[in-house]
């Protein structure tokens, strides 16, 4: 089970380490995992292409970290997710519609957020997927607070929050883990150690050799997992969630993985990451590894894979075409979505704006493209 103190169920070649470790997942759950992993990889390719074409302003890719899907499958419906940047596969596997996600990339009237967030900062109320934000680590304290609230309410909900290796060097990391540990809150801190904090290698931004050792300082359970093994990711998050629900407190998980693409569409990783590192990690591809496992289960073959990718590409294409034709958010949304009952002074401004719009005619979008 352990390789350099790292939990692993599937070897890089897709073989089981030990059949006794295999999680008891149904055929439907295994297919859901694979479907989500392939969807997010195809979505990454498409959105990066759209950004290069100038049709969207910004995107962050999940390339190489698709096994994050396992963490989403391990959660229950009413659990809460406080993401970092790359966890949109968790939103998808928990039920966020592709059309809503696509709308948020474009920021128009089909965007559930009505253009109020920068691209790629998804949120989805129906699945308790809290908004992605740019500052490093701020979500960790929010998650700890939500988990403490859950404990007070005794609702048995678990909170999971994500960060990168760089996030463990932030002040918010200390605040979040310290508070969760003090209150024995039902919180899971999931760190995707993808080897780089943007362009800074992990060994240059922290003094510890193994990030999971940071859990000891806060008196909480720490687990290190192969982050390219979707079954292992599922298993450790499921165990952490079960413990949290039983009142056994928080868990810090270090998921050892690698970012196979840029930090964002504004980044060029070839400037700081050696080619040899990419080549070595490509042999540990999480999707290829899972394919071997599914094939032995009789759930995967090349014909199935080809048809699935064709179907998913068509879904993405149709979503892009629909959203790209949508109009900008209505001008009235400037005043909406903040107060349940709009204050009197804002009602006056709201009505004056609508009256002015009538005189000026059709709205023309003169804004510049998002600068990133």
CA 320 – CA 53 distance, rounded (Å): 13
CA 214 – CA 182 distance, rounded (Å): 15
Q: What domains, with CATH codes, occur in the chain?
A: 19-324 (3.40.50.970), 330-372 (no CATH)
pLDDT per residue as tens digits for the range 181-230:
999 999 999 999 999 999 999 999 999 999 999 999 999 999 999 999 99
116 is catalytic: no
Q: Which of 272, 289, 339, 350 is labelled catalytic?
A: 272
Does residue 366 carry a pLDDT above 80?
no
263 is catalytic: yes
pTM assigned to the model:
0.94
Does residue 365 carry a pLDDT above 90?
no
Q: Give the pLDDT score at 368.
A: 58
Q: What band does 243 get if pLDDT is binned at 50, 70 and 90?
A: very high
**Closest listed residue to residue 257, CA positions, set 34, 87, 134:** 87
Cα 131 to its chain centre, rounded Å, is 10
What's the mean pLDDT in 351-356?
91
Q: Which of 46, 142, 224, 263 is labelled catalytic?
A: 263
Q: What band does 74 get if pLDDT is binned at 50, 70 and 90?
A: very high
What's the mean pLDDT in 85-101?
96
Higher pLDDT, 173 or 119: 173
CA 16 – CA 25 distance, rounded (Å): 15
CA 164 – CA 134 distance, rounded (Å): 12
Does residue 347 carry a pLDDT above 90?
yes
Higher pLDDT, 159 or 340: 159
pLDDT per residue as tens digits for the range 276-322:
999 999 999 999 999 999 999 999 999 999 999 999 999 999 999 99
% of the chain beyond a pLDDT of 90: 87
Q: Give the pLDDT score at 360.
A: 81
Cα→Cα distances 330→105, 340, 366, Å: 17, 18, 15
The answer to whether 32 touches 255, Cβ cutoff 8 Å, is no
Ramachandran angles phi, psi of 187, nearest 5°: -130, 140
259 is catalytic: yes
Does residue 86 carry a pLDDT above 80?
yes
Q: Which of 259, 293, 339, 344 is labelled catalytic?
A: 259
First-to-last alpha carbon distance for the chain, in angstroms, is: 43
Does residue 361 carry a pLDDT above 70?
yes
């Amino acid at each position: 089970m352990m390789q350099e103190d790292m939990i692993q169920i599937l070897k890089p070649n897709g073989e089981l380490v030990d059949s006794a470790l295999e999680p008891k997942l149904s055929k439907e759950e295994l297919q859901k995992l694979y479907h989500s992993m392939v969807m997010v990889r195809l979505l990454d390719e498409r959105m990066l292409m759209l950004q290069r074409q100038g049709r969207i302003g910004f995107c962050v890719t999940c390339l190489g970290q698709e096994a994050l899907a396992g963490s989403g499958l391990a959660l229950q419906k009413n659990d809460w997710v406080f993401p970092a940047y790359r966890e949109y596969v968790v939103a998808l596997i928990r039920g966020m519609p592709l059309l809503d996600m696509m709308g948020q990339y474009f920021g128009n009237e089909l965007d559930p957020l009505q253009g109020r967030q920068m691209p790629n900062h998804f949120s989805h109320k129906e699945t308790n997927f809290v908004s992605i934000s740019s500052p490093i680590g701020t979500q960790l304290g929010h998650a700890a607070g939500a988990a403490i609230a859950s404990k007070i309410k005794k609702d048995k909900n678990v909170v999971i929050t994500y960060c990168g290796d760089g996030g463990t060097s932030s002040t918010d990391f200390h605040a979040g883990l310290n508070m969760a540990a003090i209150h024995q809150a039902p919180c899971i801190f999931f760190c995707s150690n993808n080897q780089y904090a943007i362009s800074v290698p992990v060994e240059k931004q922290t003094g510890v050799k193994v990030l999971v050792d940071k859990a000891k300082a806060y008196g909480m359970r720490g687990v290190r997992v192969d982050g390219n093994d979707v079954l292992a990711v599922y298993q450790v998050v499921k165990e952490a969630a079960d413990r949290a629900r039983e009142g056994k407190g928080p868990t810090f998980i270090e998921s050892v993985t690698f970012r196979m693409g840029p930090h964002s569409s504004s980044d060029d990783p070839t400037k700081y990451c050696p080619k040899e590192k990419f080549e070595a990690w490509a042999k540990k591809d999480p999707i290829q590894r899972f394919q071997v496992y599914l094939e032995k289960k009789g759930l995967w073959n090349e014909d199935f894979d080809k048809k699935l990718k064709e179907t998913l590409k068509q879904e993405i294409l149709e979503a892009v075409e629909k959203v790209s034709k949508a109009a900008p958010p209505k001008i009235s949304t400037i005043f909406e979505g903040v107060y349940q009952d709009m204050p009197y002074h804002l009602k006056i401004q709201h009505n004056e704006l609508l009256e002015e719009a009538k005189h000026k005619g059709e709205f023309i979008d003169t804004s510049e493209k998002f600068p990133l």
